[in-house]
Structure 1
Amino acid sequence: MQRKKRVLVTGGAGQLATTLQRTVHSIEESIEFEFANSKDMDITNPGAVTEFFNKGNFDYCVNCAAYTQVDKAEEDSETALLINQQGAKNLAKACHGSNAKLIHISTDFVFDGTQSSPYKETDRPSPLGIYGHSKFKGEQEVVRNMDQYFIIRTSWLYSAYGHNFFKSMLKYGRERDQLSVVYDQVGTPTSAHDLSKVILKIISEEIDNYGIYHFSNEGVASWYDFAAAIFEINQIEVDLSPIRSKEYPTPAERPSYSVLDKAKIKQVLKMDIPHWRESLVSVSEILKRESGHL
C-alpha cells in the first residue's frame, strides 16, 4: 500500500489555512494534512522548524504564515521581516533538507503599480512599502535556498473566514448608512477558496513545473467596485461614495495597479479561473450557509 502524501500547512489560524482545511475533505484520502499555527511551530526559529520537519516526514509544505498588516509594518519592519523573510528562509532550508516541496504564498504588493498591463512573473518587483519589501525578501530566500518550490503571488485575498475586506464591508454596510471607498487602486479580488483549489491541484497531481506563478480571479476591479458588488450581491443598502487614495491617507503606500497576468498558471495547471464576481457570489453563499445568515 502506497504511503499517504504528508502536507504541512503553516499559518494554521489564518484565513487561507482555514479555507484549505475546509476544502481538503474534497481531496482523496491519499493525502494527509497537518495544520500548524505559531504555537505548534515558530517559523522564525530555525531550530524549531528543523525539529518539526524531522518529526513530520512531510512531502509538501504550504506556507500560509505571514505578517500581513500592511500599514502596521511601516512602524514594525523588524517583525514583518522576521516572519516574512526569515520565516520563509527557515522553511525553505527545512524543505530542502528533508526533500519536501514548498508552496509559498506571496503578494501583488511586490510590485509598485506603475504598469498599465497585467504583471507577469518575469516583471521586476519594486515594492512600495515594508510589507511588500518583506514578502519580496521572502521570495528571494526561497529561490536561494531550494529548487522544488512554487511561489504563488496572489492579490486582494478574501474568504468566508478570518479578517478581510469582504467581511469588513459586510459589517460596516450593516452598521453605517454611508461609506467611502477608494476607486483609484485597481487589482483583482481573489477568493481564498479558489486559491485553495489551486494549491490542492498542485499537490494531488504532483505538478513539477517549479517556479513563480501569479494567481487571482479573472477580471479587474477597484476597491470601490469590489465594495459595491459585495453590497449588491448581499442585498445591503448603503450610500457608497468613491474617493481618491489621497483623500484616505494610510501609513503605507499601495500600488495603484496590481492586476496579475495568469497565463502561466492556466497553461501549466490546465484550468479555467472564475471571474471575481462569480467567486464573490460563491463565497457569500458559503458564509451564509456556515453562519446561518449574512
Structure 2
Amino acid sequence: MKKILVTGATGQLGSELSVLASSYPQYKWVFADRTQITLDNLEMLQSQLEAIRPNIIFNCGAYTAVDKAESEKDLAFRVNHLAIELIARFTRENNARLIQISTDYVFDGCSSIVLDEEAETNPINVYGESKLAGEIACLKENPESIIIRTSWVYSKFGNNFVKTMQRLMQERDEINVVNDQIGSPTYAADLAQAMIDIIESSKWIPGVYNYSNEGEISWYEFALSIKEFGGYNCKVGGIPSALYPTPAKRPSFSLLSKEKIKAIYNLNIPNYKESLKKMFV
C-alpha cells in the first residue's frame, strides 16, 4: 500500500484532501500539521521525512502570509525555498513522487494575455520570490516532480477571501473591493481532487502545471458573486488598488491557462461560479 504524506494538513488544501481521503482507501494517508512536518526547521524536517518514509508527498504546507513576508524574508525563504529543496532531494533519493503547490505570485502581473506554464516569471514581492526559488530548487533536486501553480485559493476551511467577505457583508452596510486585479479563484476542493486524479492516472508527466477554476474576473466581481450566493444586502463598491495599499505588491493580472493540465490529465475544470456555489450549500 502506497503511503501519501500531506503537509500543511490543517490548511485549506490539506483539509480538503482529508475530506477526500476516505474515498481512496487504497492509500495510507498521513496528514501532518506543522508539528509533525516542521518546514522551518530543516534538521527536524529531514528526520521527520525519514521516519514517515512516504511514497508520495503532497506538499501543501507553505509560508503564505504575503504582507508579513516583506518583513520576515528569512522565514519565508526557509519554508518556501529551503524546505522544498530538502523535500525534493528526499523524494529523488527515495524514489518517491512529489506534487509541490506554487502560486500565481511568481508573475509580475504585467501581462495582458492568459499565462501559460512557459510565461516569464518575475515576482514583485518576497512571498512570490520565495515560491519561485522553491520551484527552481524543486525541479533541480528532483526533475521528476510536478509543480502546480494556483491562484486565489478558498475553501470552507481556514481563512480566505470568501469567508472574509461573508463576515464583512453580514457586519457592514457597505464595503469596497479592488477591481483592477484580474485572475481566477481556485476552490481548494477542486484542486485537491485534481491532485488525486494525477496520482490515480496511468501517467506521471513531471514539470510545471497551472490550476485554477475557469473564468476571468476581478476581486470585486468575485465579491459580487459571493454577495449573490449569500443573499447579502451589503453594498459592494469597486476601487483601484492604489486606494488599498498593502506592504506587498500584488500582480494586477495573473490569469492562468489550464490547457496543459486539462490535456495531459483529462481534467474537467469547473467555472468559478459553479464551484463557489458549493460553499453555500
- TM-score category of the 2 structures, normalised to the smaller one: over 0.9
1:127 aligns with 2:98: no
1:156 aligns with 2:172: no
Code of the aligned partner of 1:68: T
1:16 aligns with 2:46: no
Q: Distance in 1 between matches of 2:227 and 2:85?
A: 41
Code of the aligned partner of 2:252: S
Gaps of 5+ in 1: 286-294
- Residues 47-92 of structure 1 deviation map (CA, whole Å, 9 limit, x = unaligned): 3233223222311101111111111111111111111111111111
Correspondence for 1:116: 112
1:181/1:227 contact within 8 Å kept: yes
1:283 aligns with 2:279: yes
- Residues 262-285 of structure 1 deviation map (CA, whole Å, 9 limit, x = unaligned): 110000111211000000001222
User: SS of the residue aligned with 2:280?
Assistant: helix
- Residues 17-75 of structure 1 deviation map (CA, whole Å, 9 limit, x = unaligned): 01111122222x21111011111121233332332232223111011111111111111
Comparing 41-50 and 273-282, the one that deviates more? 41-50
Correspondence for 1:176: 172
1:160/1:284 contact within 8 Å kept: no
Aligned-pair CA distance for 1:261: 0.6
Counterpart pick for 1:57 among 53, 56, 70:
53
1:44/1:90 contact within 8 Å kept: no
Correspondence for 2:236: 240
| TM alignment of 1:76-225, pairs within 5 A | 76-225=72-221
Q: Distance in 1 between matches of 2:167 and 2:188?
A: 19
- Residues 81-111 of structure 1 deviation map (CA, whole Å, 9 limit, x = unaligned): 1111111111111111211111000000000
Correspondence for 1:289: none
Code of the aligned partner of 2:96: A
Comparing 84-93 and 125-134, the one that deviates more? 84-93
2:138/2:145 contact within 8 Å kept: yes
Q: Distance in 1 between matches of 2:58 and 2:231?
A: 36
Gaps of 5+ in 2: none
Aligned-pair CA distance for 1:167: 0.5
The size of the alignment, in residue pairs, is 281
1:6/1:32 contact within 8 Å kept: yes
Correspondence for 1:263: 259
- Residues 105-159 of structure 1 deviation map (CA, whole Å, 9 limit, x = unaligned): 0000000011111111011110010010010001011011012211000000000
Code of the aligned partner of 2:68: K
1:155/1:188 contact within 8 Å kept: yes
Q: Distance in 2 between matches of 1:284 and 1:32?
A: 31
Aligned-pair CA distance for 1:206: 4.8
TM-score (norm 2): 0.97
Q: Distance in 2 between matches of 1:185 and 1:132?
A: 16
2:39/2:78 contact within 8 Å kept: no
TM-score (norm 1): 0.93
Q: Distance in 2 between matches of 1:55 and 1:73?
A: 30
Q: Give the aligned CA root-mean-square deviation in angstroms.
A: 1.1
Code of the aligned partner of 1:236: Y
Q: Distance in 1 between matches of 2:51 and 2:202?
A: 23
Code of the aligned partner of 1:248: Y
Comparing 42-51 and 62-71, the one that deviates more? 42-51
